[in-house]
Structure formats: structure tokens, C-alpha cells
Amino acid sequence: MVEEQGAYFVKSVEKAFDVLLAFTPEDPRLTVSQVAARTEMTRASARRFLMTLAELGYLRADGPVFALTARSLDVGRSYLAGLTLPGVAEPHLKSLAANLNETTALCILDGMDVVYVVCVPSPRLLSVSITVGTRFPAWATSMGRVLLGGLPASDLEQYLESVQLRQLTQRSVTGRNALRQEVEAARLRGWAMVSEELEQGLRGVAVPVWRGTEMVAAANVSLQTHRASADDLEKTVIPLLMDTSRRITADYGGRNSTPAP
């Protein structure tokens, strides 16, 4: 099979992609000599490939340097368009669930509620049991407070004016101003923690998942309160959850970091 592939292998196609991949976020502008060094081509060959790619619209020349154009995105656009967020997120959430031995999930905001689009139960026999499609009031969950923090100010105010707060447990937030403060704190920190506001004995933490500049979901870890204190979660679970979110974001065609508050 290897010999059969080699018979029709087009070396110039490989070299063209080598040239495109020579441009990185750290070095978005390169000279002919730099491209030649990175691709192990002669300077003359590198120049021919650069000029051809520029002619096709994938590169632009700015004096002695070249840079990628927006058309270079066409190469991966069809692949990214075929990605679904649950499909991208589930392997990462499974890995986190196995690592922590706890339940992990991915939620989106739908009206006044959060909706579970991925749920990976804990490997333990006794764990938080939630299924895909489950809905909870956004105000009472860590995922909801993260997602509310990603709304434009006018949309958040509209939500706060419309929401009906209920005393689900003794710890449930009861006032709109208190909820606003919790949402703002989650936005500034980049994560939210809710302890026993939705259900007695249940604690959850959540972080945002981004695509470009848009917050598209919240990744979550849920566990029984006796499993870990709030301080323990902040020191151990939240960093791992943030790392998982970054991996999901990267695979979903997102960005490397979240915006500054």
C-alpha cells in the first residue's frame, strides 16, 4: 500500500503545504529566506511557491515579506463547519471525568434555562445522575452564571427583570441584585461555583467555552459536597476544568485565550 501511494504522491503539493504551515501565530510574516530555511528548500524554490500562492490569493506580499490572507481559511473551513460542539467536547470531558472520578458536562443557555448537551457520568457507582436534554434554571447553576456573564449587558438586564427566583434550598440566591453580583463575579474570575443552591448536597463549578469571540457553552464538574470543599475545588478541580475548556476551544476552532474582563 505504501508503494502504491508513493507512485502517485505529488511532492509539489506537500511543499506547498509546507510553505503555508511555515507561517505561525508567533511568526505571521516571513521573508523568502526564512521560508526556505523552515521548509528546507532552496531560496529559488521557496520564492516560486510563495509567488504562486500569492497569485492564487492564499498569501500577500508586502515588500520583502509574505503573510497569509483570509483565503487560507478556506482550506479548513469545511472541516470546521462539520464539527459539532458536543462531538468535540465529549472526549475531553470523558478524560476529565476519569481523571477526577466525577461527573462532567457541557451546557448551553436556552432562554431562562441551561440545557445539557453532553453529560459524562462519574465512573463511581454513586454519582450525580443527569442526562442530555436535562434543563435547570440558569440562575441556580454554575453553568448558568458563567453563560449569563457572557451576555451583552442589555440581555443580562432583560434576563434579570424576567427571572423568577425560587427558594430551591436554604442557600438559594433570593434577590436580583445578589444574582447580578454573582454573575459579575463569575465573569471577572472566568469561573463560577454554586454550592447547594440547586439541590442540597450538590456543588458545581463551571468555566466558559469559546469559539472566536463568542461564548458558546459552559463546561462543568458536579459532585457531592462531601467529596471536596470549595477551597479544594478552587485549587484542584477548576484549573483542570479550565485546561479542558481550552482543549475543547482549540479543537472547535476557537482561540487560545479568553478576553480580559
Q: Quick one: 71 and 118 in the same domain?
A: no
CA–CA distance, 96 with 54 (Å, rounded to integer)? 43
Task: Say which CATH number the domain at 229 has.
Answer: 3.30.450.40
User: Looking at residue 77, what is its pLDDT?
Assistant: 65
Q: Quick one: 16 and 67 in the same domain?
A: yes
User: Looking at residue 259, what is its pLDDT?
Assistant: 42
Q: Is 50 exceeded by the pLDDT of residue 54?
A: yes
Range of the domain at 190: 83-251
Q: Quick one: 89 and 151 in the same domain?
A: yes
CB under 8 Å, gap of 24 or more: what pairs does 23-30 form? 23/66, 23/67, 23/68, 25/256, 28/67, 28/68, 29/62, 29/65, 29/66, 29/67, 30/65, 30/66, 30/67
Single-letter code of the amino acid located at 39? T
Mean pLDDT score, 109-117 = 88
Cβ 195 vs Cβ 220: under 8 Å:
no
pTM above 0.75, yes or no: no
Q: Quick one: 206 and 96 in the same domain?
A: yes
User: Pick the residue with more confidence: 135 or 218?
Assistant: 218
Q: Is 70 exceeded by the pLDDT of residue 94?
A: yes
Please give the grid coordinates belonging to residue 101. 472520578
Cβ 93 vs Cβ 106: under 8 Å:
yes
CA–CA distance, 123 with 103 (Å, rounded to integer)? 8
What average pLDDT does the structure give for the chain? 85
